[in-house]
Each structure stands twice: as C-alpha cells, then as structure tokens.
Amino acid sequence: MNRTILAANWKMYLNEDTSIDFIKKMSSDIESFSNSEVILFPSHTCISQVQKELKNLNDIKIGMQDCDIHTKGAYTGGVSLHGLSHIDFCIVGHSERRLLYNESDEVVKNKLETVISNGVNAILCVGETKEQKNDGNTFTVIDAQLSILPKDAISRLTIAYEPVWSIGSGEVPSNKYIEDVLSYIKNKLKSLYSDEIVEKINLLYGGSVDKDNINRLLEVKLIDGFLIGSASADFESFKAIADKLN
C-alpha cells in the first residue's frame, strides 16, 4: 500500500528558529512518520537551513510554497526555482496566492509550466469559495481552474483540492462532498490524459485537516494524502496526525 502523503504548508507561520526546532523534534521522532510521505513547505527564507538540518533524512521531501514564473533575470523580489540547491516540489495556485495576490489562471498556468519544465513536482491547488459553493458553481470553478492543464502528456503533477471556505475555518466538507469533487477532477484528468498518466497523478485534500478528522477523511478512497496548513506548523499536532496513520 502507498504511504499517505502529508504535505505541510507552513505558510508564514514559522521563522528560521522555529523551523529548525521543528526539524530537530522530527528527527528524533522520525519513526512516527514511517507510514507517511512527508513533504515540508517552509518559508522561502528558511528552506536552506531546513535542508541542512534534515541532513540524512532523505525520505523527507522539501518544496516551495510558490515561485516566480521566471527563473533568472531582472525580477526584483521574485523567488526563482533555481535559487535553491534542490527542490522536490512547488505549490502553484494556492488560494491565498489567487485571492490575496491576485494571481489569475493565466499566471498559475505560467507558473505550472515553469515548475514542470524545470523538473520539479507541481502541486496545483484548486477549490471554490463559499459564495461559489452556495451559488452551485463548485464544478464550474474547478473546471476553469483545471483548464490551464497542458493538453499533451504531463508528469510530476499532483492536484490538491482545497475548498477556500474550509481553509483555516475548522469547517470541513462531508466525505460525500469531497468524493464528488475528487471524482469530477479525476474524470477531467481522464478526459485529458491516458489512464497510465492519470494513475500517477496524486490527489490531495486540504482545509482544516487535523488529528480529529484525518481518520474519517481517509475513508475517501480517492484521497492520496493531505495538504495541511496550521496543524502542520506545530510539531505535536503534525505528529498527532501522522500517528493516526500508524
């Protein structure tokens, strides 16, 4: 059986000291994560230190929370995928980037292309706002967000379904709701790509995941793992989630 993906999006919760502290605790308790495939997304400014601290823990993957469309040149403040020695993953299209930083589907599309063409695994986030849900537009929104996917074969892609109304709210959709959306996403992928490719695209759920709801969420068969925000930025609560998988 594949291990469950636990992708920890630390957002802007941790600084260098608290990130290092987290890794120290994790290193001395690594057996708790034996059934999890852990991907850590520290702040850009902390990635190098986190990588150093992880040293021999090759099993733990590292990702960027976002990146620039460009990889080199006169782009003040931009963060390049090439700026770090080794990156396994990069998140694109997180709703906080879409809504707080006005990233359009076009920008997300360009970022996705940059990430994939540079040999990095992309986690593309999709999800509807409360208003879009209440208006019955969930599938239309997801469809538009997925319309940026390249039409030819794709590799190194993961899709994270993160309903905006669930992020940081403690409000988690029912399993049936998540299953319906993930089935919709899967069918959309099947309409674009071969079964062989679709098989390799992992599907994550994100939005208020914690130790108390992880077991019932795991009953959704289409879920390969989770993209976790606040509960991933505190070692004890992240470990409590991983412990549920053991």
162 is an active site residue: yes
For the CB of residue 7, give the shortest distance to ligand 13P in the complex, in Å. 8
Over the window 44 to 63, marking each residue x when it contacts ligand 13P by CB under 6 A and - when it does not, the resulting string is: --------------------
Among 162, 163, 188, 225, binds ligand 13P (CB under 6 A): 162
Max CA separation in the chain (angstroms): 49
Are 37 and 225 spatial neighbours (Cβ–Cβ below 8 Å)?
yes
81 vs 231, beta carbon nearer ligand 13P? 231
Is residue 206 at the binding interface for ligand 13P, with CB under 6 A as the rule? yes
Q: Residue 195: which residues within 8 A CB-CB, separation 6 or more?
A: none
94 is an active site residue: yes
Over the window 217 to 236, marking each residue x when it contacts ligand 13P by CB under 6 A and - when it does not, the resulting string is: ----------xxxxx-----
9, 92, 190, 192 from 196: Cα distances, Å: 29, 23, 10, 12
Is residue 150 at the binding interface for ligand 13P, with CB under 6 A as the rule? no
| Catalytic residue chosen out of the listed positions 44, 94, 103, 171 | 94
Rounded to the nearest 10 degrees, the angle between the axes of helix 105-117 and helix 138-146 is: 40
For the CB of residue 231, give the shortest distance to ligand 13P in the complex, in Å. 6
Of 73, 7, 20, nearest to 47 (Cα)? 20
Burial class of residue 30, CB neighbours in 10 A (0-12, 13-18, 19+): middle
Q: Active-site residues: which are they?
A: 94, 162
Contact residues toward ligand 13P (CB under 6 A) are: 9, 94, 162, 167-168, 206-209, 227-231
